[in-house]
Amino acid sequence: MSPATHRTTRSPNPNPYRSYPGKLPRGPHSLTREQVAANQRLRVGMAMLEAIGEKGYVATTVSDVVGRAGVSRKAFYQHFANKEECFLATYDTIAREGRRRVARAVRGADGRPDRMETSIRAVFEVGMENPDALRLAITEITAVGAAGIERRERAIVEYGQLLHDGLRTGPTADPGANVGLPDTTLRALAGGLNRVLMTCLQNSRRTKPLELVPDLACWISTYYPAPKAFVSGLKATRQRRKRTHAKQLGGRAPGTLSPRQDLRRTVRSGYPASRSFVVHNQRERILDAVTNLTASSGYGNLTVEDIAAEASVSLQAFYEHFESKEDAFLVAYELGHAKALSFVEQAFAEAPSWRIGVRDGLCSLMGYLASEPAFARLSLMGTSVATPRAYEISNRGVATYARLLTPGFEEAPKRKRPPQITVDAITGGLQEMFLHYAAQGRIEDLPELTADATYVALAPFIGAEAAAQVAVEPTSA
């Protein structure tokens, strides 16, 4: 995706928001007051959708919306109290129409062996019809705060249940199986499909999303039914992993992972600080401030003045280090990401096999995120909605982890090798699992997901039984 824009190709008349045909009639055929109000709300919703598609929710203003909608600010505030209320109303309209269309498609597939593919195809068709609406529903909705997160969480649960129903009635379903997939796995399946669809639309891939539907249905089928021993042992395994990493909590934001030497204490002790020390210390404090403020209040509420005050530096000092708040934000993300990746790669390299390396790498990643809760929130919930450039850099960061999964194709039996899209799907699934914990304020509990994440990462390559066995074994990380 180009760093200059969020925009993707959109259909000229995205459903459910369709342009009103022509000018409003006047005279005896004029609209009623209620019809005028409905028309205004429709235009405002379309404008909100377009503005967010181009600029993202954080950068979109009421002025952007009314300018595109061709209504006055007074008319806007007659319908909505603020930008957030307008955004949520737009989301609700899109979600309601999407659910209606998918439900209709699934009802028509009852009793058919390709019900899973029908379900995925219906969701993809809705998303392809309006990529801006897809981005709004999957990523931008988290920028609104608790109300947006609650809506997104509910949608992911519904999506996961839809997929589970397809598995239970599909051609490969085991009639005797009474063990359903854990909620975390269902969430990962929904997240994986979302990532594949968004990546296809944003990168204008030659492979069209609908062409991937059979491969994605094949990917999903590798998880079901989950081994009974895995499902029954998840609770104990989660508790054990959580206790193992409990002592790692209380880490620092990206400025430094070691205790920071306080500049003022150094000066008071009679040892004047060198210029290089001052510069380094200021930069660390600024990065810590950016990370902590973003984690607590969101990127949209972040200001250079607040960063300087939190870091105890002057505005001049801030601009000596960074060009803007976005620049500081991106440096904080990249520094934190580099540290996380180093822990993951070390655990992966020290493991006796690829499958153990994947498990131990995931364990290290979640342990790091749990010890750096401010960075975890910035990474999982901030980068996707902050700026177009942050979104692109975040996607590249996620891709660096994905490459650790590619040896799995050689691990799989030749006749059962999963489709190439599997790595993207798994990556999106893991990301969705982590995001859920961040959204629920449970970052410190992330290590308990090690078994769930391992199963999601390995099952398509080595089979559900083998993946479950690796998942519940004690980790070496």
pLDDT in tens, 79-96: 999 999 999 999 999 999
Q: Whose CA is closest to 441, among 340, 235, 295?
A: 295
Positive or negative, the CA dihedral 435, 441, 445, 448 is negative
The answer to whether 172 touches 221, Cβ cutoff 8 Å, is yes
pLDDT band at 108 (very low <50, low <70, confident <90, very high): confident
Retrieve residue 294's tokens.
Answer: 């973003």
Beta-carbon count within 10 A of 180 CB: 15
Task: Report how far Cα 265 is from the mean position of its chain's Cα atoms.
Answer: 41
User: Each residue of 239-291: pLDDT tens digit?
Assistant: 777 666 655 544 565 755 344 445 444 444 455 667 777 888 899 999 999 99
pTM: 0.86
pLDDT at 296 over 70: yes
Q: Using only the alpha carbons of the chain, give its radius of gyration.
A: 24
pLDDT confidence of residue 233: 83
Q: Looking at residue 170, what is its pLDDT?
A: 55
- The more confidently predicted of residues 304 and 32 is 304
Tell me: the pLDDT tens digits for 145-187?
A: 999 999 999 999 999 999 998 887 655 555 444 457 999 999 9
The pLDDT value recorded for residue 3 is 37
Residue 380 DSSP one-character state? I
How many degrees, rounded to 5, is the angle at CA 315 between CA 330 and CA 390? 15
Beta-carbon count within 10 A of 29 CB: 7
Residue labelled with tokens 């969101």:
298
CA distances from 38 to 20, 41, 44, 71, 77 (A): 11, 5, 10, 12, 14
| Size (the chain), residues | 477
As a whole number, mean pLDDT of residues 34-45 equals 92
Give the pLDDT confidence score for residue 274 in this predicted structure.
74
CA distance 102 to 106: 6
Position 193, amino acid: L
Report, as an integer, the average pLDDT of 213-235: 91
**What is the CA angle 66-69-74, rounded to 5?**
40
Q: Is the pLDDT of residue 208 over 80?
A: yes
pLDDT of 271: 55
Q: Does domain 27-154 have CATH number 3.60.150.10?
A: no
The pLDDT tens digits for 343-371 are: 999 999 999 999 999 999 999 999 999 99
Stretch 194-202: mean pLDDT, rounded? 91
What span, in angstroms and rounded, lies between the C-alpha atoms of 18 and 24?
A: 15
Per-range mean pLDDT, top range of 6-10, 131-135, 201-205, 434-438: 434-438
Q: What is the pLDDT of residues 368-426, one digit of tens each?
A: 999 999 999 999 999 988 898 999 999 999 999 999 999 999 999 888 899 999 999 99
Architecture of domain 240-415+436-477: Orthogonal Bundle (1.10)
Ranges for all domains in the chain classified under CATH 1.10.357.10 = 27-154, 240-415+436-477
DSSP states of 268-326: HTT-PPPHHHHHHHHHHHHHHHHHHHHHHH-GGG--HHHHHHHHT--HHHHHHH-SSHH
Residue 414 is predicted with a pLDDT of 84
pLDDT at 476 over 60: no
CA atoms lying within 13 Å on the CB side of residue 182: 22
Neighbours of 294 (CB within 10 A): 29
Residue 476 CA, chain-centre distance (Å), reads 28
Query: Which of 32-46, 50-64, 267-281, 421-435 is predicted least confidently?
Result: 267-281
Residue 120 binned pLDDT confidence (cut-offs 50, 70, 90):
very high
Phi, psi at 310, each rounded to 5°: -65, -35
Contacts of 143 (CB under 8 A, 6+ apart): 56, 57, 58, 298, 300, 385
CA distance 295 to 11: 35
